[in-house]
Each structure stands twice: as C-alpha cells, then as structure tokens.
Structure 1
Amino acid sequence: MDFVEVDLQVNSEFADILIAEFGELGFDAFVETENGFCAYINEELFEQQALDEVLERYSSMVQVTYKVQTIERQNWNEEWERNFEPLFIAGQVSVRASFHERPEAAVYDIVINPKMSFGTGHHETTTLMIENQLTLSHTGKRVLDMGCGTGILAIAAAQLGATDLVAVDIEDWTVENARENAELNACQIDVRLGGAEQIAGEKPFDIILANINRNVLLDNMPAYKAVLVPQGWLVLSGFYTEDLSKIRERAVALGLTYQSHREKNNWVSAIFQAI
C-alpha cells in the first residue's frame, strides 16, 4: 500500500493544532520540518475534500500552503530520512536519527527514529525543555515524562543521570515508538499507555517533565503535584508566552513556586519547584 504525503508550510504556532486535526483524518505519521511539517496517510484513507475542509476552517487565522504527493511504500524510510535533520542543542545535546553520524562535540547523544511520533526536537517546546533539563541535576533521580511522544525527554533524563524513569502517552503507537527509542539508546524506561491516571498513587518523582498543551497542563497539574517530592521540579512546556500567567497562577495555587522560564518564537518552557 502506498502513502500520501502532505507537505505543509505553516506558522509554528498552528503546527500542533493542525497535526491534531490531521490525526482525526487518519494521518498517522508526522515529521517536523523547518517551515511546518509533513503528514502521512495510507493512500486508501486519504480524502482531499476532508483535508480542504480542515484547512478552510483555519484560513482566516493562518496562511497555509501545501503540496500533496504519493509515495511508494518501499520509499517510506527515505522520505522521513530526507526530512529529519540532526540538531545540536545548547552546544551539548545531539539529537539525530540512527543514519546520522554523532557530532564529535556532543556531550549527550540522543538517537531518535520518530516513525509516527511527534518529538524529534525540532519543535521549539522540545528544545526549550531540553535546555531547561540541562540546568537541573538528574543524577540518581526518579523522573516522569508526561506526553512523552518519541520519549526524547525521558532519554535525555537518562543520559543526564536519572536512574528511575517513567514515560506516559495517550497514543498506543507513540508508546511503541518510545519503547523502541529507549532500547535504541540503551535506556531503561517504563513506558505506559494512558493519561494522568497512570501516575495516581505512584512513588513520588524528583522531576516531572510535561510538554503537552496549556489546557491539559492546567487540568492535570494537581495530579503532577500529588506525585512530586518536596523541593522536586516540575518542568512544563507546550504553551505560549501569553499563557504563562495562567500556568503560574495555577502552579502557585497548588503550592509550587515559579523559578524561571525560557522563550523561543512565542513558545515557553517554565520551571516550578514544590514547596
């Protein structure tokens, strides 16, 4: 069976929204690109009219251009390899696919084969999260990665010295991919399918990483706080600069103190600490 590739040029602020919309249409693989993303779907499931209807709903809010092409199944790996460029974050962390060479200057080297999962490090939120992780001691820590995607943040935590890792995501294919990437990086990570219910009653974590979106973070922050050790760290991303005040307000109400935040292209990652 062949695939259909839709290559979208779109403002990064709307990329996550459209990826979610495309997921509802049956697209099950996404590769971040410099100017947007590529989405993939089995040819028999592709409906041009459905695609146009989704893009029309957002036409008044954002400019989108795209092109569609059919890809033979045997060329699938070649397509995502073509679109996945290696990254070097904060002068320390290499994020690459298995077919890329490790940079000599890399202190930490994360190998990701993304397949159908979101989280190659190209999106601003993932980069910001890793930059924030570099400021925290992970040595011997118990770490939770909520909304793990490819597992990139949990893998980063393992390479930074964490010894007890749990990763959670709501998509079964994402969980499978995170497990594959954990094995690829020789990391022991307990990857679970589900949402916040997966951590209820858990042994507390020293660090909780959650790169999701504003609404989920606001809804689930009490669950995160309930399994965070005193003086533990909560690192959040997936929201915009204008949302930071709401995130801070919610965190403070739960007994967390704001420590710092980073911004990139209007995206934010913030660090909070349990009292």
Structure 2
Amino acid sequence: MDFIELRVTAPGELSDILVAELAEIGFDTFEDNDEGFCAYTTQDLFNPDSVAEIMARYQGQGELQFEDRIITRQNWNAEWEKNFEALVIADRVSVRAPFHPARPDLDYEIVIMPRMSFGTGHHDTTALMITNQLEVNHQGQRVLDMGCGTGILAIMAVHLGAAYVLAVDVEPWTAENAADNARENNVEDKVEARLGDITALDNEEPFDIILANINRNVLLDDMGAYARYLKPGGPILFSGFYEEDLAQIRAAAEAAGFVYESHRVQNHWVSAIFRQPA
C-alpha cells in the first residue's frame, strides 16, 4: 500500500492545531519544516473531503495552503536519498545512510535505510526518544519497540546493551525495513521485527523496557496493554505527541499505574519517561 503526503504551509501556532485535527482523521506521522509541516497516512485511510473541511475551517487565520501527493514504494528510495542528511543526536549518536561517511569520533552510530518507513532520526520525536534512551540502563534488558518504523530505536537499544528487542509495526514493509536495518547494523541476532499491532504481543512475557513512539491516539488506546507488558520497576518511553497533549498522556499513564519521571520538549514535540512501580 502507498502513502499519501499532505504538504501544509501554515504559521507555527496554526500548524499545531492542524496537526491535532489531522491526527483525528487518520494521519499518524508528521514532519515539521520551515514552511509548516508534512503529514502522512496510508492511501486507504485518506479522505480528501475531510482534509478540505478541516482546512476550510481555518482559512483566514494566516497563510494556509495545502496539497497532497501519492508516495509509492517505487519512488520512496529516490525521495529519501535526495533529502536525507546525516545528523548527530545529543552529541553522541551518529545517524546516517550507508552513503554517508562514518563518525568514529562519536559513541554510537546507526546506519538507516528508511525505504517506506518513518524514523530517520530527523524528526523531533525520534531524536527525543534516543536522547531519553541514553539515560536509561539497557544492559542485558529485554526491550519492546512499538511502532518501530525503521527500527532505529531498537538498534539504539542494542547499542546500549539490550539483550533482545522485539520491534513491532503495523505496516509489512516497515517490519521488513526494520529487519534489514538490524542486519545493516550487525544487530540482527538481537532484534526481532514483527508485523502487527498490540495484539502481536499475545502470549509474550513482560518486558524490562518499552519504547512507544507512535501517536497520541494509539498511545491512549493501548495504555492498559503497555501496563500489562512492562515488568515492575521498568521504564516506558513515550513520544509522538505535542506538548499540549502531555497532560492527557500523563493522566492515562497514571490511571494505568505508571509513575511520571520526566519529559523533554523539542519544537513542541514531547518524549516522556514513566515507570512501572516496583
């Protein structure tokens, strides 16, 4: 299945509102840019009339333009190769494509070939999650990466000492891509990529650490399941939502029994750490 990219030109405050509106009609990945943002959904969930209705409600509140296009599996590689730049996260982690030079001067290196998957490290949520991972003891731990995308967080977990990572995503090519990237980073013996949603965890034992960089609605829907699948004392790292959504995420997490520890904010996006009581 192909993706729809919705490219929106809008001022900052209006962009935040539009992201929240679009998340309600099936868009689940967002990337900010200098003019506004891009929103992504699968072609089967895309409803142009619903998009037009949302945009019409906010006309006149600053410059607002939008256009959509199909991104096929066939042209995705050309798109990311054209735009993908190497980056450094938290002054310690190099994230690059195979055609970028290595950075042996840094503590960790992750090589990513995104294909049709999201999570190159360039989006604020991924960078925030990796920064938070650096503060969590992964040594010898069994880790769950929900909504794994390219597998970047799973690979980071192994670099930090995880013994095993189950990387789960709902898109077939994403699970395939995560497995390919695990091989590219020589961690395929410790990363299992699995197709599915939260039900793909049926019969799994609880994990020591959970990483969940998805979106607000999925996090809220699956909060109870996360509580069942996290060991006592274990941390869970969330991202994929805006700063104004943190109160709602925190309320749901605490209702499920998690204890809030900390959060980071970058360009209005949040990554928060909670913990299962010991």
TM bucket (normalised to shorter chain) is 0.7 to 0.9
Counterpart for residue 57 of structure 1: 53
C-alpha distance in 1, partners of 2:176/2:194? 9
Structure 2 vs 1, CA of residues 209 and 41 (structure 1 numbering), >3 Å: closer, same or farther?
closer
Q: CA deviation at 1:127?
A: 1.0
Q: CA deviation at 1:8?
A: 5.4
CA contact (8 A) 1:149 1:178 kept: yes
Q: CA deviation at 1:139?
A: 1.0
Q: Does 1:114 align with 2:114?
A: yes
Counterpart for residue 139 of structure 2: 139
Counterpart for residue 187 of structure 1: 187
Deviation per CA, 1:43-66: give whole Å up to 9, x if none.
Answer: xxxxxxx76x46523324485546
Alignment of 1:255-274 (within 5 A): 255-274=257-276
C-alpha distance in 2, partners of 1:229/1:127? 25
Q: CA deviation at 1:79?
A: 3.4
CA contact (8 A) 1:31 1:83 kept: no
The one-letter code matched in structure 2 to 1:56 is A
Structure 2 vs 1, CA of residues 201 and 127 (structure 1 numbering), >3 Å: closer, same or farther?
same
Unpaired stretches in structure 2, ≥5 consecutive residues: none
Local SS of the residue matching 2:109? strand
Counterpart for residue 227 of structure 1: 229
TM-score (norm 2): 0.79
C-alpha distance in 2, partners of 1:39/1:96? 22
Alignment of 1:27-176 (within 5 A): 34-35=33-34, 36-37=37-38, 53=49, 55-59=51-55, 60-61=57-58, 65=65, 77-176=77-176
Structure 2 vs 1, CA of residues 122 and 9 (structure 1 numbering), >3 Å: closer, same or farther?
farther
Structure 2 vs 1, CA of residues 116 and 31 (structure 1 numbering), >3 Å: closer, same or farther?
farther
Deviation per CA, 1:111-144: give whole Å up to 9, x if none.
Answer: 1111111111111111111111010011111100
- Which of 252, 257, 264 is the matching residue for 1:250? 252
CA contact (8 A) 2:210 2:237 kept: yes
| Matched positions, count | 262
Local SS of the residue matching 1:80? helix
Q: CA deviation at 1:222?
A: 1.2
Counterpart for residue 46 of structure 1: none
Deviation per CA, 1:54-106: give whole Å up to 9, x if none.
Answer: 652332448554678999x9986443211111111000111111111122432
Q: Which moved more, 1:126-135 or 1:104-113?
A: 104-113
- Which of 200, 203, 218 is the matching residue for 2:202? 200
* CA root-mean-square deviation: 3.5
Structure 2 vs 1, CA of residues 183 and 80 (structure 1 numbering), >3 Å: closer, same or farther?
same
Q: CA deviation at 1:256?
A: 1.4
Q: Which moved more, 1:118-127 or 1:139-148?
A: 118-127
Structure 2 vs 1, CA of residues 98 and 127 (structure 1 numbering), >3 Å: closer, same or farther?
same
The one-letter code matched in structure 2 to 1:134 is L
Deviation per CA, 1:124-179: give whole Å up to 9, x if none.
Answer: 11111111101001111110000111111111111111111101111111111111
Local SS of the residue matching 2:205? coil
Local SS of the residue matching 1:219? helix
The one-letter code matched in structure 1 to 2:98 is S
C-alpha distance in 1, partners of 2:117/2:249? 26
Unpaired stretches in structure 1, ≥5 consecutive residues: 25-29, 43-49
Q: CA deviation at 1:238?
A: 1.1
Q: Which moved more, 1:103-112 or 1:135-144?
A: 103-112
C-alpha distance in 2, partners of 1:248/1:123? 22
Q: Does 1:178 align with 2:174?
A: no
Counterpart for residue 213 of structure 1: 215
TM-score (norm 1): 0.80
Structure 2 vs 1, CA of residues 227 and 67 (structure 1 numbering), >3 Å: closer, same or farther?
closer
Percent identity over the alignment? 50
C-alpha distance in 2, partners of 1:226/1:74? 39
